[in-house]
Amino acid sequence: MLDDFFIRAVLAGLGVALVAGPLGSFVVWRRMAYFGDATAHAAILGVAISLAFNASIYAGTMLVALAMALAVSALATRGRAMDTVLGVMAHSALAIGLVAISFVPAARSDLSAYLFGDILAVGRADLALIWAGAVGVLAVLAWRWQRLLTASVNEDLAMAAGIDPRVERVVLSITLAVVVALSIRVVGSLLISAMLIVPAAAARGLSRTPEGMAGTATLIAAFSVLAGLWASLRLDTPAGPSIVAAAAGIFVLSQSVRPR
């Protein structure tokens, strides 16, 4: 079964969707859209470093994304104007990554695969890493769920309950870096944050509880993967952008439903 490239693409997309739903919900609740952009855009620099040193793409992107996520998390505790800082870091990270990758001849011809994903080229090893990482991130989110949720609702309330918001912010930073590394082959660095935000934003008006929103976002992300891959196969469109376009279509439809 895994010899079929389309089946592997579907399984890889569903693996990312499985974790994009709950993690994307936290990104929406905490208004971390630019946080995701900065982390995802930094992944291009990780790609350049990995190719330059002939290392694993996943390892390089995860290390750089983690460094960016922790840096942004540290800045968040200093009371800076975070929307401006995150905007500067996101675009600077992408620009530096593109400049760095231009010095790696092996990456020039396949740059679009890292920017927009190449899910149809996912192999068995990629599939194993995606699902192992997704299960690991889900386990962490399940373990810290109540603490993460309390810290997202109100940091003062979290501190009164004996929860350190800084620790929960670091946990989210680490899980976000892992998801960025896992997703770069599926939707690419430019579309990772969209895959996190759009399904969660669509689920927001369709859910009554945080757990319901996370579950609904996961279902929307999974359906977007299937619809996007189907459209890519039938219409010969890029797979990664097709997946995000399908999610965007669901978001538009969700706006016609009155929030509960």
* Mean pLDDT calculated for residue range 188-192: 84
Q: Which domains does the chain have, with CATH numbers?
A: 5-254 (1.10.3470.10)
Taking residue 153's Cβ as centre, other Cβ atoms within 10 Å add up to 13
pTM, to two decimals: 0.88
Backbone dihedral region of 257: left (phi > 0), alpha (psi from -120 to 50 degrees) or beta? Answer: beta
For 29-55, b where at least 16 C-beta lie within 10 A, e where not — what string? bbebbbbbbbbbbbbbbbbbbbbeeee
Q: Looking at 17-31, 74-88, 97-111, 133-147, which range is the least confident one?
A: 74-88
The residue written with tokens 């505790």 in the block is: 77
Instruction: Give the per-residue pLDDT at 108.
Output: 60
Instruction: Give the per-residue pLDDT at 247.
Output: 94
| 3-state percent helix, strand, coil for the chain, nearest multiple of 5 | 80, 0, 20
CB 173 within 8 A of CB 28: no
* Mean pLDDT calculated for residue range 191-199: 89
* Structural tokens at position 187: 């939707």
Instruction: Give the per-residue pLDDT at 142.
Output: 92
Which tens digit of pLDDT belongs to each residue from 38-47?
788 888 888 8
Give which of 138, 112, 180, 126 is closest to 12, Cα–Cα.
Answer: 126
Which tens digit of pLDDT belongs to each residue from 11-28?
999 999 999 999 999 988
Q: How much of the chain, in percent, has pLDDT values that exceed 90? A: 32
